[in-house]
Structure 1
């Protein structure tokens, strides 16, 4: 791979992926429309971390601008991370925006890739939200898709659009279902960022639900590695779970966070939001066997690194 397009390059995962590609000598075209779903200043900081690398060209615009000649010419791999994230905000009138950014923009991108003289490989970021609340032990990629939020519905629909282009045209598209990614630069609306911020200020930590909900948390560098492995190894139409080192309850995560800060978290509980899954747990066997993916950063170390990054930002 010599040239890549990263959509959503100023976002949480996208900025880390862009840096990794540049460090490996890849020329990167980056696109980000700076959606205001959270503080744009955070995205600008992410972009500043990438810096003015000579092999990086940045376009501040939405995919809907469809400047494909500028973006796709000579590109070997497209990493499609641009999306409107978040379960809680996807209800009501906002659903139109989720359809626009998660489904329609993806279809436009796939159509444009198809029109290239040599269509690039496309690695699309999906979500464990397509499964809804998981049952049984670990969930593999053939488990039923039962999203419990409008956001999850748009991610499932996005996957279906991708499969249509694979089956009809043989477009080389693979999809990665992330299980709650965390780490430095995590979005400020996400739980770990919010928990650390409240703990650092000595405030009560607000938990939505009873804290017994469990998650499979994925460190951001592991998610980045999965993207690069998928571009190299995946076959068209393949879907992979991208998870962390274990499933853990939210209350147990807070105990680890408190230990890192030498504080005992003071907790307050609110009713859980509609569409919030009670349990996620990734079976990553397929990613291990097909891609060679294995999470390398344990939760305790990942939380330490996220805390260090947040402290550094607070000083800056």
Structure 2
């Protein structure tokens, strides 16, 4: 990791966005112009915005990263829409059912084999905070809304798998078994669950159904994956179990998240120590005298 990126990550975790944007600008100045949206690179490694002003322009927002990344940065679309002449959002098809009405002038499913042609201005969605100079606290959740599934009061949603992107973010679901006694739970993992949950067949692949389940929960306990961002964007209480050295967007030493005020963070005390992180979470869960009203505190 370069010193520049390390400084940027430190600034982001500290909530010093002015400093982070300054570092973004320094990094952008070092980029060879010919490398912009380079088709030789995987989509998630590409940079798109060339620092040209967006105000009054026709802007194409590309979503080249993961579903969780897109959900996290959707919060900035209304501000972009206010400033730009028009906004086209090229987004992962699975997320389209969750989008608020009017979030963009045009919404197009992203087809990696046939991306849209460049517009007057192109930008990747994760570049929006820097481009607009808008911090996450200025666009707080909830910025997604869905009708909740009909679940018993106090139901807890559980997600233990982060997929193949980073296996160190996941842990065996059975580690959560001691937490579930006497509690109504649903799994938010796609695969079938052996835990005593209401949906042992697993969470539906359909994003609207998944979001409805999340919205119907009183609390979501999850690893660092799309479910965490979905719960946070919906404004639901979400408790994140994180590896010892988590992603740049989480500052476990604070226990809280600037991106999602309804979140609590529980990082491994040492690398690989899921038992320690889960024990800390279990302690807080046991302190709750009444399930639903207390989760967000």
Between Structure 1 and Structure 2, the one with more helix by share is 1
Normalising by the residue count of structure 2, what TM-score does the alignment of the two structures yield? 0.30
Normalising by the residue count of structure 1, what TM-score does the alignment of the two structures yield? 0.29
**RCO comparison, higher one (Cα < 8 Å, 6+):** 1
